[in-house]
Each structure stands twice: as C-alpha cells, then as structure tokens.
Amino acid sequence: MLSTPTRKFADKTRMQHRLFAELSAMFGREVPLYDKSLLVNRVANEAVCALLAEKHGGFALTAEQLEKASGERHGAIRIGTREEYRWVAGFFDAFAMLPHNFYDMTALGGKSQPIIATAFRSPMNPEHRVFCSLLMVDYFAPEIAERIEKRLAQRQVFSDRAKELILKNQEEGGLSEAESVELVKEGTARIFRWTGRAHDYQLYQDLSDAGFKIAADIACFESHHLNHLTPNTLCMDLYTAAMKFCLGELDKATFAARAASALTWLRTAADGDYMRLHFRHLGSDDIESFAAGEVSDSAIATLAAGLAERLTQSDLDLSKLRHSGFKDFTEGPPVETPVLLRQDSYKALTEPVIFQQPDGSTLEAKHTARFGEIEQRFYATTTVGRELYDRCLIAMEAERTRDPDLIKRDYAAFLAACAAVFAEFPRTLPELLGKGLVLGRYSATAKGIAAAGTIATTDIHELIEKGFARAEGLRYEDFLPFSAAGIFASNLGQYGTQSTAATKPAYSQELLESIMDRKIIDPNVIYRGMQAESLLQTYSDLGLMSRQSPREREELGAAVAAYHALAPA
Ligand code: OOG
Ligand code: NI
C-alpha cells in the first residue's frame, strides 16, 4: 500500500514506536496515576497469561515479551484552529500515520460536542493511533466565537523547527535519523506536553458555564496536551476490577469474586481465535501447535487470590494518588460480544492550573479534563454487523436509562441485562463470520491445496468446515463515535451541548479534508479489501477460481481494486 521509504530516511514505523514510547514516558511523568494504571494492567495481564499458559500448552510469554506486546497506545488531542490542525496532520504524516474516518461529534443528538475529528494511524497493521478533534468555532454565537478565535490566534504550538521538519518530510518523503529524533522531541517537549498554564480565566469560566468545557480545554491552553493515552488490556473486566480495587472502590472479597469470574469467562472465551487477536506475534501455525489444556476452578481461585495479594502491596495503593474514581460501566459491547472495542477509564483528574490574565496578573485555578482510558480491541464488523451493533447499543442505553441504579443495586443483574440486549450476536469467531457479521482473512490449508481440483463447493464456510480453508478475524483498528461521546460525557461531567449559532452549521468530511489538504481514508475499504484479497487467493490456491460465480468474482475484484487504489501513486 504505502511505498517503502528509501534507506536515506528513518523508518517511519520505528519512528512511530519511538514517538509513542516517549509520549508514554512523558505522560507517566505528568500523571502518576497513568503510570500506576500501566502497572495494574501489567499485573492483570500476567494473571491472564498464566491462565492462557495452562489452557494452551506451549504458550508462554516472558516479562520482556509482555512488555513489548503492551506498547500499543491511542492518544487523544483536541485542536483549536484549522491551521494548527493542518500542522498536526503534517506531523503525523512524518510517522506514516494517515487520517482514517470522519467523526462528526456535532451530530450525536444529546451527546453532541462542538468538534469534528479524524484519527491518524497506519493503514496496515496499525499499533498506535491518535484521535484528533477540531473545535468548530462557528458552532457558537458570534460574540463568544470571536473571543475564542482571538485567544487562539495568540498561541504558537509548533516551533519554527518543528514546522521545518514537517515541511521537509512533506517535500522529500522522509527525515534522517537525527531529524526524526528531533521531531519526536518536539512532540514530547512542546506540542503534546501539559504545561499547567492557561490563559484568560474569564473566557474559561464563560465557556464552562455555558456547558462547553471541551472548548475551554482547547481554547485556553498553550499546547495540544494529550487528553489521554490509552493502552490495551488482555482482559477488560479483570483490569477494571483491579483498578477499582486499587482505588478503594471494591473490597478484597468483591475484587476476588470479580477477578475469578473474569478469569472463568476467559477460560472458555480465550480460544485460538482470541490468541490470534491478542498476540500479533503468534501465527496460526503457532496456535494450532498448542496442546489443549484444562484450567481448574482451583487454579482460577489461586490466580485471583494471588492477584489480590499483589494489588494490595503499597506500590499499588492508588487511593493515595490524586484521583476522581473509576467509571461505572464499560463502553462498547458486553464481554460476550467480541466485536469492535470495549473502553473504560478512570475519571478525569482535577489538576492545578495557573492562568495568565490579560492584565498580566496570574490566577490559580483547577481544570478537570485528563482521564485514564483503557481498551480491548475485537473484530471489525461488516455493514450488517455494524447495524446490528448500533441497534443493540441503543437498546442497551434505553435499558440503562430505564433503571439507572441497577448497576449499583445488583451488578450481576446489570451485566445479564447487557448480555441479553446483545443476545443476537453469536459469541465465537466462526459463528460471527458464518453470519456475515464480522470480517476475516481467509487462507487455504495444506489439506485444501492437496485436494485442489477435487473440491465441489465454493462456499467459504463449507470450505472451512471441511478443513480446506481457515480464517482469522480482522481486528477493528478505529474508533466508535458513540463510545467516544460516552467517554467525553462521563469525563466532562456534561452530556452534549447544543449549538449556540443562529443555525447549527453542517460539517462534512470534505471540509476536514480541505483543512488538512489531504484525503481521509475510509477504513472499511481496507477491511473489505483485505477480506476480498484473501478470498481470491484462497479460491486460487484451491483451484476454484473458474468455479466462482461471475458476480462474486466481480464484487471481490472491485473491493480489491478500491483497496489498492488507496496506495499513493
Ligand atoms: C477523544 C475521545 C475519543 C476514544 O477513545 O473514543 C477517544 C477525546 O476525549 O478528546 O479517544
Ligand atoms: Ni480514547
């Protein structure tokens, strides 16, 4: 897809890893609770790996491998002006991170926010991504819009050197090693750094009072400070229980029970497809070579008790740190439904800020915006799968609105209600693929290749059943606007906001593309293209090309062509 950079340039994927490792270190220094949450995730993941090693004989992950496998991050930044947004797009371009998807957060009904967004990531095998919001000033009444614009015009987030490097990458297609180190440094020392300084408290107050805290978070600060930097977890329910325990929100017995139930769930759910999805270093052959093992109830109880012990040690007493508690429920599908992504977070911290006032004086105040998200990624959905997901999600919202206290009154009943709402979704990859709800990458097996010429069916699911082909699920690599809106809302302590302009402007993908002067990639073209290409290859390897219906061949061919057309000339 992307042309490989020539050797005179620093490798952009390696630059990406360096950038996110450095951002993570920066954020850890800025926010001690973030650093500790990484440790909680590590010890929870170690317990998961211990269970997986029993279930899949031959699977083992050293501490070093686990650390390496845990480097994936997504960040969230919020930008004030169109010019800044264009520089941000140029910055990420230097790391081969391109805009994917258009998110119109002004069109989410009661959850709307005055922003539009895209997410920067690699088109293929992305590990890192940044959700990048742009404040739409014309969402506001002219008087306040003008004050925001005036304020924003006074800041200079990108240094001259950063701009030079971004332009050089744009013109020449890459940066030298030394320059790439410099650009990462620009990111951590300036562009994405939290300064603790803000400007114009009156504007801050007026925006916050009018329900636009997000605008205050953007307009009054000096940099595109990271709002959050999200790692992945191997087991959302184990991690959230552990965090709540460390923050003092669950007692030890409740934690041990929740941990045991999360691990019991994994005992069934962590099949070969889970392994493939969660460990990118494992191939299908590695996974097939694992011996099926048994995980006993007592092994689970031992793991849960061990984890409770570890979390009780003083280095994980998070109640001592500044915090505002953990979110009540996880955004996205319930644990039974392995599609798209599940997200949760510790709530936004209230942090000290010093305001520089227009008259030259300073004022000490507090700001609540930066939170601590975690996520677990599952399978990318087809159009049909996504429609079903959206329907289920609306039903789940309705359920929560109908009985908002259920979660506190009876946690098990709350989880059962969520599962019931998503009951139409099957729980395993073969069934999800079989029903056409998620996308996969198919390949011929050795048995299938040996049988080429004698195979009677062209139905991919039958080919899999007969052992002639196999499938892996495609991982969802993007964001979910409703999940994002839920996170926004719960952290800002504010639900959506209405436009105060005379008429609410309509925003489009074309608008954001023109702001960046680059095209936004539709990730569905990638997912569908990958699936189609793998199907064509499978049919070819099985000698079935000529037996496919012309219509199917045409459809697959069109999906592959659209996918290949994404590659720059
Ligand atoms: C971005 C929210 C979107 C997610 O994970 O959906 C996001 C923000 O809070 O600025 O990060
Ligand atoms: Ni996020």
- 123 Cβ contact partners less than 8 Å away, ≥ 6 residues apart: 1, 2, 98, 100, 521, 526, 566
Going by DSSP bridges, is the β-strand pair 350-356/362-368 parallel, antiparallel, or unpaired?
A: antiparallel
The C-alpha atoms of residue 532 and residue 528 are separated, in whole angstroms, by: 6
User: How many residues does the structure list for the chain?
Assistant: 569
Q: Atom 11 (ligand 1): residue with closest C-alpha? A: 76
Atom of ligand 1 nearest to the CA of 491: 9
Residue intervals in the chain for CATH 3.10.180.80: 12-333+341-377+480-521
Could you list the beta-strand ranges (E) of 105-211.
Answer: 115-121, 129-135, 197-199
Residue in 379, 382, 330 with CA at minimum distance from that of residue 477: 379
Indicate the class that CATH gives domain 12-333+341-377+480-521.
Answer: alpha beta
CA gap 470, 528 in Å, rounded: 17
pLDDT at 7: 67
Confidence at residue 221, expressed as pLDDT on a 0 to 100 scale: 98
Judged on CB neighbours under 10 Å (0-12, 13-18, 19+), 227 is buried
Positions in the chain whose pLDDT score sits under 70: 1-7, 482-495, 567-569
Ligand 1, atom 5, residue with closest C-alpha: 484
Q: In whole angstroms, what is the distance from residue 234 CA to residue 244 CA?
A: 17
Find the DSSP H helices in 31-156. 32-55, 63-69, 82-93, 142-152
Tell me the sheet residues that pair with 291: 57
State the Cα–Cα distance between residues 215 and 204, nearest whole angstrom.
8
Instruction: List the residue whose alpha carbon is closest to atom 4 of ligand 1.
Output: 484
Q: Which residue of 488, 491, 492, 494 sits with most ligand 1 atoms within 8 Å of its CB, as the best mutation to test the pocket?
A: 488
Query: Is the C-beta atom of 479 inside 6 A of ligand 1?
Result: yes
- Dig out the tokens for 512 from the structure: 């954001």
Residues 6+ apart with CB under 8 A from 507: 104, 106, 107, 116, 136
pTM over 0.85: yes
Question: 192 CA to middle of ligand 1, Å?
Answer: 15
CB distance 78 to ligand 1 below 6 Å: yes
Q: Is the CB of 337 under 6 A from ligand 1?
A: no
CA nearest ligand 1 atom 3, residue? 484
What's the DSSP call for residue 504?
A: P
CB 74 within 8 A of CB 129: yes
pLDDT digits (tens, 9 = 90+) for 429-439: 999 999 999 99
The partner residues of 151 in beta bridges, in order of sequence, read none
The closest of 500, 505, 563 to 535, measured between CA atoms, is 563
| Residue 371 CA, closest ligand 1 atom number | 9
